[in-house]
Chain A
Amino acid sequence: MTATTETTETTAPSNRRAWLYLLPVLVFVVIGAFLAFGLTRDPSVLPSALLDKPAPEFELPPIPGRDDHGFSRADLGGEPMLVNVWASWCVACRAEHPLLNRLAQEEGVIINGLNYKDRAEDAMAWLEELGDPFNYVGWDIKGRVAIEWGVYGVPETFVVDRNGTIVYKQVGQMTPRVINEVILPLIEKLRREQ
């Protein structure tokens, strides 16, 4: 083993294959970019399979004690509206409720409610205490209509257009930001459409 042979053997290939040593770094950067993107996504928020599809067929009785005819597929369409899934036992719904009141009173948005797995007296007490922004409310005591809507948690809010097509779904609590930046602009746009 002499010094001369060693240098001729190793320097030539290392120049030729310099990019090979960069390969692991590149692979790391690509994987890192994917993982970093993954961190920005909330895994509990699932895309809705019902977006841009007509709302499902359903018919729900009213909450006993509330003066309406319940809520069914026939009540959708005509005007753009919200369908809000709520329950008196749902803490996030309580935080969301003032926003629904504001939408109904100040912005004139039609909101229909889907009361999910709730006792009638609890639901009625809730509406009395926090205000009633709803046009119609369906009483989904078994949660079966919620499954038709692809609901997997409360609250969830759907935006339905004039034709009864679901155009947006908010999973979880609506915030003032969501209302101002997503819901209201969308409702305005849908109102302009004929």
Chain B
Amino acid sequence: MKRLLPLLLSALFWIGAAEAGGVKPDEMLDDPVLEARARTLGKQLRCLVCQNQSIDDSDAPLASDIRRLVRERLVAGDTDEEVKAFLVARYGEFVLLRPPIRPATWLLWGGPFAVLILGGVAVGLYMRRRSARGEPEIEELSEEERARLDRLLAGEGRPAG
């Protein structure tokens, strides 16, 4: 336990660091409702520099700028959709962590389900064919085999040959 304690403490430290994320106190809005909306938006917007992080998770200066910009637009009265549209107009749909559903992204969204259905159909066909073929017939043991088996089970040593 003595050895484990510093490890646990440092683990706690890192959890705390991860929770803190990129949003700085001086960026936050006083209005809790707007701030909550800014947080929801921030999690849906990609940091263009780090690419696999949301702007809320990122410490990149550009992410901070965009967090401020999102809050400014919310204060100015933009809806969530208007804020997103503002950024998409400048950075493209890549800025959205969740791609919109439209013809160009149907394969992206539907692909996994299509593969699941294809796989299900394949398994179903295989099962049906197997049950149609019926159980393979099991041949009975001959008298000679049965006698040999009895001998083996009785532990009479290995039969010659």
Contact = CB atoms under 8 A, between A and B. Distances in A.
11 contacts: A44-B51, A46-B92, A47-B92, A117-B61, A142-B65, A143-B62, A144-B69, A147-B69, A149-B90, A150-B91, A152-B49
Interface string A166-182: 00000000000000000
Contacts of A117: 61
Given A117-B61, A143-B61, A143-B62, A148 B51 contact: no
Contacts of A150: 90-92
- Grouping DSSP codes into helix (H, G, I), strand (E, B) and loop, the A interface class, with mixed when no group exceeds half, is loop
Most buried by A among B62, B65, B90: B90
A1 interface: yes
Nearest to A43: B51
Nearest to A148: B90
B88 interface: yes
B26 interface: no
Given A1-B139, A143-B65, A144-B65, A152 B48 contact: yes
B28 interface: no
Contacts, number: 42
Interface in A59-107: none
Interface in B56-96: 61-62, 65-66, 69, 88-94
Interface in B11-67: 48-49, 51, 61-62, 65-66
Given A46-B48, A142-B65, A152-B62, A147 B92 contact: no
A156 to B, nearest CB: 11
Interface residues of A, number: 19
A49 B96 CA distance: 13
Interface string A39-54: 0000110111110000
A4 to B, nearest CB: 15
Size category of the binding interface on chain B: 10 to 19
Interface string A9-45: 0000000000000000000000000000000000110
Query: Interface residues of B: mostly helix, strand, loop or mixed?
Result: helix
Given A143-B62, A144-B65, A152-B62, A49 B88 contact: yes
A47 B89 CA distance: 12
Contacts of B94: 46-47
Contacts of A46: 48, 91-92, 94
Interface string A133-159: 000000000111001111011000000
A193 B61 CA distance: 40
Can you list the 9 inter-chain pairs with the closest CB atoms, starting with the nearest?
A: A152-B48, A49-B92, A150-B90, A150-B91, A143-B65, A46-B94, A152-B62, A49-B91, A152-B49
Residue of A142, A143, A147, A148 with most chain B CB atoms under a 10 A cut-off? A147
Contacts of B48: 46, 152-153
A47 B66 CA distance: 19
Contacts of B61: 117, 143
Interface string B109-153: 000000000000000000000000000000100000000000000
Given A117-B61, A153-B49, A147 B90 contact: yes
